[in-house]
Amino acid sequence: MDIKRLHVGPTLSEAAICNGIVYLAGQIAENVTHNIEGQTREVLGHIDRLLAECGSDRTRILMCQIFLADMADFDAMNAVWKEWVPQGHTPPRATVEARLARPELLVEIVVTAAQAAQQ
């Protein structure tokens, strides 16, 4: 079984690919001055970039986990999500409130996706 890791760092890899399945690390915003909508858009942009690099895209997401620092942000985050996720391709998803790694982080998103074809 071959495992390919991308953007390997001392603590984590941004992505791993095994048997045509793409596993992304939790994605967070770099610009933490943004509100929940801005942070969510930035995080989804990171996901788009990593999925493309792994030979996948948002229509091939198999599972999504969303961590919110405050569930009061659920509706605003969800509005951005609904603009981003293609209709007919909404994946199974869980959204929970969690204390994130830094207090200025409002959202972290983890996805698992299928590759378009074996890479």
Q: Which residues pair with 108 in a beta bridge?
A: 67
Give the pLDDT of residue 23.
Answer: 98
Give the pLDDT of residue 118.
Answer: 57
61-68: strand order across its sheet: 3-8, 13-18, 21-24, 107-114, 61-68, 93-97
Give the pLDDT of residue 1.
Answer: 78
Give the pLDDT of residue 55.
Answer: 97
Give the pLDDT of residue 25.
Answer: 98
- In this structure, are residues 50 and 61 in contact, taking their beta carbons and an 8 Å threshold? no
The residues of the chain scoring below 50 in pLDDT are: 119
Domain spanning 3-114: CATH 3.40.50.300: no
